[in-house]
């Protein structure tokens, strides 16, 4: 465990060697300058002050002032450069984690909570960034200042220094106990913060459903319960931090009282000079500062390490095989599709497909219908390589998709889903998503083919109109047509339409059907539909039930059989 942590920090700091070295060396110099000041003051009191104002005294005071100024400017530079390093590390870790999350497979997101992921990406890594500067700066400064001060305290008066050391040891033991308590409470705080973020994000994402069902009070209650759990954990952490901060003040006061009483006694006995007591007090104050800083570092460390552990927990999760070394092939052609003895089931769920077989010829238009939960959408996602199979293989033009580069596979197999997602950007940006280099002419042509150009032209700013979060400013049909325009622009060789026209009214659906017929020409097309009119013109229609093909044929053929397809068709009518 300790070796893993050391390796983690060593790897992080190795990318910032020069800045790290500057912070460490600068902190050493600042600590050394701080140790010199009390000795100069002691010299002033012993040798120069008794003789009144003199040129030598003014010179010594000037040297002391220069010492303070040098310490100030160097400390300021260390803060700027060191905190900049922490910010860069924070940026790098956040980028690495986000890249890792983007490479995770569908199965990870089936179980992940977006609020927790957001909390780890933003809050946890922010704590780590603060820790990365505190470790080299405070650790070096505190250790040098503490060791130097204690050494000089013993040199000034060993009897008084023994008392101080004994009190410091007692305080150290109490701090170690608090350190363990803080680690647990900060980890729980991070987890509950993620839960609260997830709850709020989910409520806001579904705000229209909440408004429609008049369930604002219910969502507020869910947020309140998550907030109360966080508040309970925070109270425990505040109690622990209060003990730490209150203990610092109490310990400081007790230490000063002990030095003044015992120092006064030693002076009265002629065992100590006043200048030595003043220097002792200054060194004691200098000694206490790193003690307090180390105690504060304990809090920063535990917060930061809670973030580090949650960061590493995600980073240690295996990525999907989308970037596997086995994926080296390019799809030069993409037409014929073969599902061969496919076995698949979601994690911790019953298998959906057992020894599933299906062949789709190049250029064939295949419709897939069936009751909800039959595996229609899952079949399409498997073709896109979104999930790893439990057995069997899927081939395109005889090439196993596990050996095909992911970008090549997703470029040649396009999917339009029922749930259209639009980014909070312009109409132009959403159509060109995935093909940012597309020209305006290409974008306009794609929109015209999708029967979208007319309504886009009527928007306040045309193609430069912002659609709002998730396309909230557009109707369901408008959003769907933008998704279709996006696919026209992408121009894949295999097209998957998963309930692609379900969000459209009858008139719009007729417009889209015309566009779909153009889009489907000379390419293999799979259409998943509940509205059977959508698949009626397909070359072949499959009825999928519980992961099995129970009926297969043309519309006329299946209607004549009077089986499941016939029942679905008559029920829809």
**Which residues make beta-bridge pairs with 466?**
426
Closest among 308, 298, 272 to 124, alpha carbons compared: 308
Q: Across the strands, what pairs with 86?
A: none
Report d(CA 233, CA 241) in Å as an integer: 12
Phi–psi pair at 129, nearest 5 degrees: -60, -40
- Phi/psi region, residue 236 (left: phi>0; alpha: psi -120 to 50; beta: rest), is alpha
Contacts by residues 164-168 (CB-CB < 8 Å, ≥ 24 positions apart): 164/255, 164/258, 164/259, 164/284, 164/287, 167/251, 167/254, 167/255, 167/258, 168/291
Measured in degrees and rounded to the nearest 5, phi and psi for residue 553 equal 155, -170
| Residue-by-residue DSSP string for 530-565 | SSGGGTTTSSEEEEEETTEEEEEE-HHHHHHHTSHH
- Who contacts 85 (Cβ-Cβ below 8 Å, separation ≥6)? 16, 19, 20, 23, 132, 133
Give domain 337-572's CATH architecture. 3-Layer(aba) Sandwich (3.40)
- Tell me the C-alpha distance between 494 and 346, whole Å: 25
Per-residue pLDDT of the chain (573 residues; tens, 9 = 90+): 667 777 888 888 888 889 989 988 998 888 888 777 777 776 666 665 555 556 766 776 787 788 888 888 988 898 889 888 988 888 888 888 888 888 887 788 777 777 778 878 888 888 888 888 888 888 888 788 878 878 887 887 788 888 877 777 777 666 666 666 666 777 777 778 777 777 777 666 666 556 555 677 777 887 788 888 888 887 777 777 777 667 666 777 777 777 777 777 777 877 777 777 777 777 777 777 776 677 667 767 777 887 888 888 888 888 777 766 677 778 777 689 999 999 999 887 889 999 999 999 988 999 999 888 788 889 988 998 888 899 999 999 888 988 888 888 888 888 888 777 778 788 898 888 888 888 999 989 888 888 888 888 988 889 898 887 777 778 777 888 888 888 888 888 898 888 766 555 666 667 667 767 767 777 898 988 877 877 888 889 999 988 899 999 988 898 888 888 888 888 765
Q: What is the DSSP letter of 320?
A: P
Q: How far apart are CA 299 and CA 359, in angstroms?
A: 62
Whole-number Å distance between alpha carbons of 502 and 198:
29
Considering the domain 2-320 in this protein, what is its CATH number? Answer: 1.20.1560.10
Kindly give, in sequence order, each residue whose CB lies less than 8 Å from that of residue 570, ignoring residues fewer than 6 positions away: none
Sign of CA dihedral 181, 1, 304, 223: negative
Can you read off the two tokens belonging to residue 306? 């809670």
Of the candidates 439, 480, 39, 12, the one whose C-alpha atom is nearest the C-alpha of residue 278 is: 39
- State the pLDDT at residue 339: 94
First to last CA, the chain: 65
Phi and psi at residue 546, to the nearest 5°: 50, 40
Give the strands of the sheet with 391-396, arranged side by side.
353-360, 337-344, 391-396, 399-400
Amino acid 573: pLDDT: 56
pLDDT of residue 542: 92
In sequence order, the 6+-apart residues with CB closer than 8 A to the CB of 107 are 320, 346, 347, 387, 388
Structure tokens at 297: 């570092």
Question: What pLDDT score does 33 carry?
Answer: 83
d(CA 30, CA 141): 7
pTM: 0.73
Domain ranges of the chain: 2-320, 337-572
In this prediction, residue 50 carries a pLDDT of 54
Task: Specify the 3-state DSSP secondary structure of 451.
Answer: coil
What's the CA gap between 562 and 573, in Å, rounded? 15
């Amino acid at each position: 465990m300790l070796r893993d942590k050391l390796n983690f920090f060593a790897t992080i700091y190795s990318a910032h060697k020069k800045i790290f070295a500057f912070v460490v060396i600068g902190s050493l110099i600042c600590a050394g300058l701080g140790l010199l000041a009390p000795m100069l003051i002691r010299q002033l009191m012993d040798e120069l002050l008794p003789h009144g104002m003199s040129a030598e005294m003014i010179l010594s005071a000037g040297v002391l002032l220069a010492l303070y100024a040098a310490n100030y400017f160097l400390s300021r530079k260390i803060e700027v450069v060191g905190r900049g390093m922490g910010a860069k590390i924070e940026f790098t870790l956040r980028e690495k984690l986000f890249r890792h999350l983007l490479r995770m497979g569908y199965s990870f997101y089936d179980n992940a909570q977006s609020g927790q992921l957001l909390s780890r990406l933003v809050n946890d890594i922010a704590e780590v960034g603060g820790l990365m500067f505190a470790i080299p700066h405070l650790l070096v400064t505190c250790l040098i200042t503490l060791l130097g001060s204690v050494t000089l305290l013993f040199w000034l008066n060993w009897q008084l220094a023994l008392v101080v050391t004994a009190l410091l040891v007692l305080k150290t033991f109490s701090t170690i106990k608090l350190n363990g308590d803080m680690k647990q409470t900060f980890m729980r705080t991070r987890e509950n913060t993620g839960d609260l973020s997830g709850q709020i994000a989910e409520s806001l994402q579904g705000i229209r459903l909440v408004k429609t069902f008049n369930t604002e009070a219910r969502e507020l209650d869910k947020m309140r319960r998550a907030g109360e759990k966080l508040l309970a954990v925070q109270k425990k952490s505040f109690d622990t931090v209060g003990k730490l901060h209150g203990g610092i003040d109490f310990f400081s006061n007790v230490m000063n009282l002990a030095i003044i009483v015992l120092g006064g006694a030693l002076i009265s006995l002629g065992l100590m000079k006043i200048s030595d007591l003043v220097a002792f007090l200054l060194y004691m104050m200098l000694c206490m500062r790193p003690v307090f800083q180390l105690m504060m570092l304990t809090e920063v460390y535990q917060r930061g390490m809670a973030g580090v552990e949650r960061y590493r927990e995600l980073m240690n999760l295996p990525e999907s095989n989308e970037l596997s070394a086995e994926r080296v092939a390019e799809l030069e052609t993409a037409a014929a599709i073969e599902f061969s003895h496919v076995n698949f089931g979601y994690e911790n769920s019953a298998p959906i497909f057992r020894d599933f077989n299906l062949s789709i010829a190049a250029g064939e238009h295949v419709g897939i219908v069936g009751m909800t939960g039959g595996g229609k959408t899952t079949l399409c996602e498997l073709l896109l390589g979104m999930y790893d199979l439990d057995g069997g293989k899927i081939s395109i033009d005889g090439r196993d998709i596990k050996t095909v580069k992911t970008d090549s596979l997703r470029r040649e197999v396009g999917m339009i889903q029922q749930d259209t997602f639009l980014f909070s950007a312009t109409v132009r940006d959403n159509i060109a998503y995935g093909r940012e280099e597309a020209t305006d002419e290409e974008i306009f042509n794609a929109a015209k083919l999708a029967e979208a150009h007319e309504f886009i032209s009527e928007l306040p700013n045309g193609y430069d109109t912002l659609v709002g979060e998730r396309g909230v400013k557009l109707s369901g049909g408008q959003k769907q047509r933008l998704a279709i325009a996006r696919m026209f622009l992408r121009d894949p060789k295999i097209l998957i339409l998963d309930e692609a026209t379900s969000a459209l009214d009858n008139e719009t659906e007729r417009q889209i059907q015309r566009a779909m017929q153009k889009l489907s020409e000379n390419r293999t097309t799979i259409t998943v539909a509940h509205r059977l009119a959508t698949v009626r013109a397909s070359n072949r229609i499959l009825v999928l039930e519980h992961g099995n093909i129970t009926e297969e044929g043309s519309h006329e053929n299946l209607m004549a059989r009077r089986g499941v397809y016939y029942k679905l068709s008559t029920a829809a009518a």
